[in-house]
Chain A
Amino acid sequence: MTNPLPTKARVAEYAGGVRRRVREGGLGPAPVLLALAVTWVVFQSLNDKFLSPRNLSVLSVDIVGTGMVAVGIVFVLLIGEIDLSVGSLAGLAGAVFAALHVNVGMTEWLAVVVAVVCGTAIGALHGFLFAKFGVPAFVVTLAGLLTWSGLMIYLLGPDSSISFSEDGLVASLTSRYYSAPGFTYGLAALCTAAYLLVSLRDRARRAGAGMPCRARSGIWVRTGLLAAVAFTTVAVLGHFEGLPLALLIFLGFIVASDLLLRRTPYGRQVLALGGGVEAARRAGVDVTRVRVSVFMIAGTLAAVGGLFVASRFTSASQVSGSGMLLINAVAAAVIGGTSLFGGRGSTWSALLGVLIIQSIASGMALLGVETAVQFMITGGVLITAVIFDSLARRTAASRVRT
């Protein structure tokens, strides 16, 4: 080992890092995981059907539509902006798909592509108006919310709903399950192994360059935790219908977007914009390009989410484009730990946040509580998350001033 740093210094560096994280509220996902655990324990103790394979399976499919939209919201929040149009974009995508496929008779996959591209193009338009003309994103996307809701209602026609076939491509998005144990357990094993290999390789490279690196035991513990979560999920869902295709696609999107944000120059630029637009510009980041692309990503994911929502109902209707989708998606991103102030967060927060929101909804439904109460509780969770976020930001800001 050609490590220039003595062990003692390395330990001190590590300990300093931990203390700092505790102080600045950068504990990562720990508080959110705790909140999720509490939610589950409470609802399970009130109704023992809550953690049943059946309910969890339904939950794991129900989160996908909102979750996809929330992943897009995470990108926008990271550059310190907001996109209020994602709810109506999701509804519009469902309506475009249904209108083209059912009313016009377009091939299903082509209608899907057109619907998603619609989302991308509209996102690009919002991003362009914001980045080029300096219209606040809040206003651009508020106008978008109205416009695209209007277009959706127009496309849905007098019935304000278009149903499509239950065994088509879009319907199968949320109705297909994989139950062959060889496949499901194999997938869990593959993901765990991939994580382990990547972690060990990163560690080896750092050690090879003589830099402080994670303890090997830490990697094994993390891999163990991941394996536990993966295999438990597969086992529990296997008791009902198996692994839902929707959940797999959702997880795929999260992993891919997380890698994009953390491991590529593009992701670095997105985070830089959230940390200071002027600083990023002076460092040579093309601010306009990054801004437009982020709104394109949000629009695309909103459309994808909209197709999942429509798939759940096997119809496109005003429900899917309702304001609730927007509110839940933004709340999910924030509850999951992405900062409203930009520059801090991860797409995994979309998963954790939407799990909490949907768990509350599902638990309340099991208990037969009215939606009124459910809204108030979700609102309470959201405000708690925002308070945490603001406190973390204040700690950081007060350190800047000294």
Chain B
Amino acid sequence: MPGQRQSQPLLALRGVSKRFSAVQALVDIELEIRAGEVVALVGDNAAGKSTLVKVISGVGPPDKGVIEWQGAPVQIRRPQDARLLGIATVYQDLAMCENLDVVANLFLGREIHRFGVLDEVEMERRTRELLHTLSIRIPDVRMPLAGLSGGQRQVVAIIRSFLGSPRLLLLDEPTASLGIQQTNQLLDLIEELRDQGLGVLLISHNMSDIKAVADRVAVLRLGRNNGLFDVNTTSQEQIISSITGAADHAVAHRPHPEEVWP
């Protein structure tokens, strides 16, 4: 397996472009993610990171370009297509139903049912089990999402992506509203999943998080590829100047975005 893993990426984007009426959001993007690898995707605001995630997850298909899954070109036109391939996503805006409870949100679109009747007991049992193994505390899994804090909601979005044992995880700023402890927990978890052979695409503005878990860093700038770096051999300054497009003193003007507290 490892040999094959090296030769063939799990997911590859070839010349992907996407345009919104006024904005050319992505231009000829190339990106490869291998199984057992964490790729960080970085770039300034409006660089096109979320747009790229939506291209891969089937929410906003590309105008041009090819998506390859394990070497073979695939069509991802709808979120269902991505899910069938084994792609799970945590969106930046979370995209969950405020009126449904935690269990219903976790299983939305893949409800467990017996003879067409929802099996609430089984869904709740699996939810509790999952929360337990990840040692996450949610006071009441039957509470509508509207009653949870921003960070708790992000946790729900993250564990939803773990359900259904995906092979590729797309995480769009998953730590944006997490506390320190929860962030560290998530980073540990990402490493664990990587070791199990999952591919992970992690979007973050936090350089230390990226240093901690990523193997490679892909930089987007104004919708274009702007460098691909190995985390272990590249300095933070190099990456940051690639993000901002300036070679020098860019760091001084732009403090790292701190954690957003809910």
Q: How far is the CB of A337 from chain B (nearest CB, A)?
A: 14
Chain B residues 122 to 181 lying within 8 A of chain A, measured CB to CB, are: 122, 124-125, 128, 139-140, 142-144, 146-147, 149-150
Distance A344 CA – B144 CA, assembled complex (angstroms): 11
Residue pair A265, B125 in contact (C-beta under 8 Å):
no
Answer whether residue A209 sits at the interface, using C-beta atoms and an 8 A cutoff. Answer: yes
With both beta carbons as reference points, the residue of chain B lying nearest to A274 in the complex is identified as B99
Residue pair B140, A17 in contact (C-beta under 8 Å):
yes
Answer whether residue A211 sits at the interface, using C-beta atoms and an 8 A cutoff. Answer: yes
Which residues on A sit within 8 Å (CB–CB) of B149?
Answer: 402
Chain A residues 360 to 402 lying within 8 A of chain B, measured CB to CB, are: 396-397, 399-400, 402
Q: Number of A residues contacting the other chain (C-beta, 8 Å)?
A: 36
Partner of A264, one of B59, B78, B91, B118: B118
Answer whether residue B100 sits at the interface, using C-beta atoms and an 8 A cutoff. Answer: yes
Distance A343 CA – B96 CA, assembled complex (angstroms): 13
Q: How far is the CB of A89 from chain B (nearest CB, A)?
A: 28
Chain A residues 278 to 306 lying within 8 A of chain B, measured CB to CB, are: 278-285
Distance A396 CA – B116 CA, assembled complex (angstroms): 31
Answer whether residue B189 sits at the interface, using C-beta atoms and an 8 A cutoff. Answer: no
Which residues on B sit within 8 Å (CB–CB) of A279?
Answer: 95-97, 108
Which residues on A sit within 8 Å (CB–CB) of B98?
Answer: 275-276, 343, 396, 400
Residue pair A272, B97 in contact (C-beta under 8 Å):
yes
Residue pair B139, A13 in contact (C-beta under 8 Å):
yes
Answer whether residue B110 sits at the interface, using C-beta atoms and an 8 A cutoff. Answer: yes
Residue pair B96, A211 in contact (C-beta under 8 Å):
no
Residue pair B80, A211 in contact (C-beta under 8 Å):
no
Answer whether residue A24 sits at the interface, using C-beta atoms and an 8 A cutoff. Answer: yes
Which residues on A sit within 8 Å (CB–CB) of B146?
Answer: 24, 396-397, 399-400
Residue pair B139, A402 in contact (C-beta under 8 Å):
no
Known contacts A280-B97, A399-B146, A399-B147: does B104 contact A268 (CB below 8 Å)? yes
Which residues on A sit within 8 Å (CB–CB) of B128?
Answer: 211
Which residues on A sit within 8 Å (CB–CB) of B59?
Answer: 281-282
Residue pair B143, A17 in contact (C-beta under 8 Å):
yes
Answer whether residue B9 sits at the interface, using C-beta atoms and an 8 A cutoff. Answer: no
Which residues on A sit within 8 Å (CB–CB) of B96?
Answer: 276, 279
Residue pair B95, A284 in contact (C-beta under 8 Å):
no
Residue pair B95, A278 in contact (C-beta under 8 Å):
yes
With both beta carbons as reference points, the residue of chain B lying nearest to A275 in the complex is identified as B97
Answer whether residue B23 sits at the interface, using C-beta atoms and an 8 A cutoff. Answer: no
Answer whether residue A216 sits at the interface, using C-beta atoms and an 8 A cutoff. Answer: no
Residue pair B125, A282 in contact (C-beta under 8 Å):
no
Shortest 8 CB-CB distances between A and B: which pairs?
Answer: A275-B97, A284-B109, A343-B99, A283-B109, A275-B99, A283-B108, A279-B95, A396-B146
Pairs across A and B, CB under 8 Å, 9 listed: A17-B140, A24-B146, A202-B121, A209-B125, A264-B117, A275-B97, A275-B99, A280-B109, A343-B97
- Which A residues have a C-beta under 8 Å from some C-beta of B? 13, 16-17, 20, 24, 202, 205-206, 209-211, 263-265, 268, 271-272, 274-276, 278-285, 342-344, 396-397, 399-400, 402
- Which B residues have a C-beta under 8 Å from some C-beta of A? 57, 59, 78-80, 83, 89, 91, 95-100, 104, 108-111, 113, 116-118, 121-122, 124-125, 128, 139-140, 142-144, 146-147, 149-150, 262
